[in-house]
Amino acid sequence: MKNILFIASEGVPFIKTGGLADVVGSLPQCIDKKYFDVRVMMPKYMCMYQDKKDMMKYLTHFYMDYNGKREYVGVLEAEYNGVRYYFIDNEFYFNGDKPYGNIIYDLEKFIFFDKAALSALPLIGFKPDIVHCHDWQTGLIPVYLKDSFRGGDFFKDIKSIMTIHNLKFQGTYDVPTIKGLSGLPDYYFAPDKLEAYKDANMLKGGIVFADVITTVSETYAEEIKTEFYGEKLDGLLKARANDLRGIVNGIDYDVFDPEKDDLITRRYNKKNFRKEKVKNKLALQEELGLAQDEKTMMIGIVSRLTGQKGFDLIAYIMEELCHDNVQIVVLGTGEDKYENMFRYFDWKFGDRVSANIYYSEELSHKIYASSDAFLMPSLFEPCGLSQLMALRYGTVPIVRETGGLKDTVSAYNEYEGTGTGFSFTNYNAHEMLGAIRYAEHIYYDRKREWNKIIDRDMAADFSWHVSASKYMEMYDWLIG
C-alpha cells in the first residue's frame, strides 16, 4: 500500500471558493484504494458550515513555535465517501468569513498551515510516500521537506508533487516578511530558489523544490512556458520542463448528473433531452423573471467575476448582444466592475438578462441544466470545470481556445458534423461575438444539427477515469 497525502487550502464538500475545491474533493475518491491510501489535509476554517464541522472528530493537538509565539495546532479528522480528511485547527489563523482575504494575513496563515501540516504527520501516524501539494498556499511544503523536516527517518524519503491550478496567484511578499514567518535561512532567498524579482515567492519555492510539477491541462502546461501565460515564472518552468506535465481535470459524474440531480427541476438524459431539458429552461425563466419562451436561446455564465474569465470581452459587446434574440443568465461574484456591469444590464434588459450576484450551488446546477449554451471566453484557463459541467448537462460551450478549454471543447465543424462547442482564437470581443452568433445561427436555423452537438456533448467522458490513472502512474513512478 502506498500512502498519498493531498494538502490544500480548500476541498469539497468542506469548503469551496473555486475549481480547486472540486478537484481536491473528487480526485482522491477516484484513486484506486487497493493500491493507494489517499488522505486529504486542509485548514479547519471557522466559516465552514456547521454540518461540516459536525462531521469532524478531535484527534490530537500540540504546540508549535511560529512567528515568535507558541501556537496551538489542533488536528481533527472526518471520513467522507471512503476518504479520510484531516483538518488543522487554529482559531486565530483560520477565522474570518471566507478562506482568503488580505495577502499579508493569508501569507501568515498559510505558512503556519504548511508548517503545522508537516509537524502533525508523526502525531497522527500517517507517513505519506508522497505529499501532493496544490497551489501557492502549500508552496513551502516541498521546501520544508528539503530543509527543516529533512532529518530523521520519518520525513527523509517523502516525495513531493506541486500541482499548479492557477499560476496567477503566487503568494509573493517582501523577503524579510517571508523569511521571518517561514524561519527558513538566507540560503533559500536567492533568485534560483524562493526569490523572484527581489521578492519572496511561495509558489516558486514549491516549483523549485518539488520532485514533480503538474498542472491541470496539457495546453496550460505548454502555455506557462511562454511569456504571455508564464506570470514571470516562464523561465523557471522552462528550466523544469522535464519534470512538468499537464493532466486534465475531470469532474464528479455522480454529483453532476442530469439524470440524478436533485437540484434541477426536470431530470433528463442522453435519450430524452430533446423533450425534457427545455422544462428546466421554462422553470428557470419563471424563477428569475425572464420572458417565458421555450424557443429563446438561453446563454448561461457561472463564474468568478474576474479578468481571467474574459469579462472584458463580454463588457465590450454586451449591449450589442442584448439586442440579439437571446437571454443571458449570470451567476457569480467577484470584481465590482463586472458585478455592476451585469446589474446594469439586468436593469436595462430585465426580460432577457438575469444577474445573480451571489454564490449558490443550487442555482449553478439549474443554469447548467437550463441553458442552451454556456459562455466562457477566458483570457487564460488552466483547466476550467464549468465547461465540463456544461457538456455533461448537454449545454453547448462557447469558449476561447486557451488552456483546458482548448483541450476539452472541440469546435463545431458543419461540413464534417463534428465538434462539441463553439470557439474562437484571439482575445478579441468581436471574434467572440462572431462565435456566439454562429452558435445562434445553428441553434435557430439548424436545430437538428444543434441537437447532434448536444448528443456529442453528453456522450463525452470527462469523469476522472482517465486522468486519475495518469496520476496513479505518476505516483507509482515517483515512489519507484
Sign for the pseudo-dihedral over CA of 275, 281, 286, 287: positive
What residues from 364 to 423 belong to the interface with ligand GLC (CB under 6 A)? 381-385, 404
The residue (of 228 and 347) whose beta carbon lies closer to ligand GLC is: 228
> Is residue 339 a contact residue for ligand GLC (CB under 6 A)?
no
Pairwise CA distance, residues 140 & 131, whole Å: 12
Distance in Å, CB of 296 to ligand GLC, minimum:
30
The residue (of 128 and 171) whose beta carbon lies closer to ligand ADP is: 171
Residues in the chain: 480
CA-to-CA dists, residue 211 to 120, 478, 479, angstroms: 22, 8, 11
Region binding ligand ADP by CB under 6 A among candidate stretches 50-58, 267-275, 284-292, 384-392: 384-392
User: What would the grid cell of residue 138 be?
Assistant: 502549500
The residue (of 172 and 386) whose beta carbon lies closer to ligand ADP is: 386
Distance in Å, CB of 235 to ligand ADP, minimum:
25
> Is residue 356 a contact residue for ligand GLC (CB under 6 A)?
no
Distance in Å, CB of 384 to ligand GLC, minimum:
5
Stated as kind and residue range, the H or E segment containing 84 is strand 83-89
CB burial string 418-449: b at 16+ within 10 A, e below: ebbbbbbeebebeebbebbbbbbebbeeeeee
Total residues contacting ligand GLC by CB under 6 A comes to: 14
Which of ligand GLC, ligand ADP, none interacts with 318 (beta carbon under 5 to 8 A by kind)?
Answer: none
Among 333, 410, 428, 469, binds ligand ADP (CB under 6 A): 333
The residue (of 192 and 362) whose beta carbon lies closer to ligand ADP is: 362
Which of ligand GLC, ligand ADP, none interacts with 216 (beta carbon under 5 to 8 A by kind)?
Answer: ligand GLC
Task: Provide the 10 A C-beta neighbour count for residue 382.
Answer: 29
Provide DSSP, 209-277.
H-SEEEES-HHHHHHTTSTTTSTT-HHHHHHTGGGEEE------TTTS-TTT-TTSSS---TTTHHHHH
Phi and psi, residue 210, nearest 5°: -70, 150
Stated as kind and residue range, the H or E segment containing 83 is strand 83-89
x/- string (CB under 6 A) for ligand ADP, residues 354-383? Answer: -----xxx--x------------------x
Which of ligand GLC, ligand ADP, none interacts with 339 (beta carbon under 5 to 8 A by kind)?
Answer: none
Cβ(209)–Cβ(160) below 8 Å: yes
Q: What is the largest CA-CA distance in the chain?
A: 70
Among 11, 19, 250, 421, binds ligand GLC (CB under 6 A): 19
Return the closest-CA partner of residue 329 out of 377, 387, 290, 376.
290
> Is residue 18 a contact residue for ligand ADP (CB under 6 A)?
yes
Provide DSSP, 128-193.
-SEEEEESGGGTHHHHHHHTTT-SHHHHHT-EEEEEES-TT---EEEHHHHHHHH---GGG-STTT
Residue type, 186: D
Pairwise CA distance, residues 373 & 385, whole Å: 15
Query: What is the number of the residue whose Cβ is closest to ligand GLC?
Result: 19
> Is residue 170 a contact residue for ligand GLC (CB under 6 A)?
no
Among 28, 205, 258, 384, binds ligand ADP (CB under 6 A): 384
Region binding ligand ADP by CB under 6 A among candidate stretches 55-63, 240-248, 385-393, 418-426: 385-393
> Is residue 99 a contact residue for ligand ADP (CB under 6 A)?
no
CA-to-CA dists, residue 167 to 193, 316, 468, angstroms: 17, 26, 22
Region binding ligand GLC by CB under 6 A among candidate stretches 15-23, 93-101, 287-295, 427-435: 15-23
What residues from 287 to 316 belong to the interface with ligand ADP (CB under 6 A)? 302-304
> Is residue 8 a contact residue for ligand GLC (CB under 6 A)?
no
Query: What is the number of the residue whose Cβ is closest to ligand ADP?
Result: 19
Among 88, 130, 216, 399, binds ligand GLC (CB under 6 A): 216
Interaction site with ligand ADP (CB under 6 A): 18-20, 22, 302-304, 331-333, 359-361, 364, 383-386, 389
Please give the residue ranges that form the binding site for ligand GLC (CB under 6 A). Answer: 18-20, 23, 165-166, 216, 249, 381-385, 404
